[in-house]
Amino acid sequence: MPAPPHLLIVDDDREIRDLLTSLLGDRGFRVTAARDEHTMRRALEDSQIDLVILDIMLPGKDGLALCREIASQSSPAIIMLTARGAPTDRVVGLEMGADDYLPKPFDVHELEARIKAVLRRRQPAGATSEPDGRTVFKFEGWTLNLLQRQLVSPQNALVELTSGEFELLSVLAHRPNRTLTRSQLLDIAQSRTADPFDRSIDIRISRLRRKIERDPKRPSLIKTVRNGGYVFAAQVERE
């Protein structure tokens, strides 16, 4: 049987660490807990962590800075816990590379559902793969490999993507020259329904443009459709 997903809880509140360790452990996850940056780094070095549940308010270097560092390594996935419920705070977390966020206080059933949704998106064949099983997509000199979870530039350079950026680009590559609304993109790429103030897709689109467009301010690959959403305007070849 495959090993259960390994979660790392990073929170300076011992009660929350103990509660999540117990509740998520009872639900079949392997759980490690860390109280600060130093114990978090030690856990990441010593173990293969699949997903980090990261509190924003931490002593020393805060969760947002740590989120950016973890996301820059393309592994593992990140769900941020925050007592800050304002949409702007959530937007900042997504800008730093978080895959999802959940405000405190939270319901453990919702947290479990979000963990499973994020982990599903991290699977090699993922929810975004098509029935034909093709796993390599080429467009405008770029190569997107679903199994290796890699994006290679026309100059043959490896481009680092967060898991959220990777899944979104996979969804777009599967559906070239087709207008997709923000709600559709969120539903397919993140397995959840958008609310009217959810800007996570726009944030990831903006980050993707900075990485794959020659001129992000005048995008030629990921185009905005007025009152419609986005369209991946590229000729895509599948292998």
What pLDDT sits at residue 71? 81
Question: Are the C-beta atoms of 100 and 175 separated by less than 8 Å?
Answer: no
- Six token digits for residue 88: 């702007």
> Which token pair is 223?
């185009």
Structure-block tokens of residue 76: 């593992």
Spatial CA neighbour of 224 closest among 166, 167, 164, 182: 182
DSSP state of 5: P
Q: What pLDDT is stored for residue 9 in this prediction?
A: 96
Give residue 162's pLDDT. Answer: 83
State residue 197's pLDDT score. 44
**Percent above pLDDT 70 for the chain:** 85
Helices (H), 11-141: 14-26, 37-46, 63-72, 87-95, 108-122
Cα distances from 181 to residues 26, 115, 187, 229, in angstroms, run: 38, 24, 10, 4
pLDDT in tens, the chain (239 residues): 467 899 999 999 999 999 999 999 999 999 999 999 999 999 988 888 999 999 988 888 888 889 888 887 657 889 988 876 566 666 777 777 888 888 888 888 899 998 988 888 766 444 444 434 568 999 999 999 988 889 999 999 999 988 788 888 998 998 888 888 887 787 776 554 444 445 678 888 999 999 999 999 999 999 998 877 899 999 999 87
Number of CB atoms found within 10 A of residue 2's CB: 4
Q: What structural domains does the chain harbor?
A: 6-122 (3.40.50.2300), 136-238 (1.10.10.10)
Instruction: Give dist(CA 220, CA 116) in Å, integer.
Output: 34
Distance, CA of 91 to CA of 109 (rounded, Å): 23
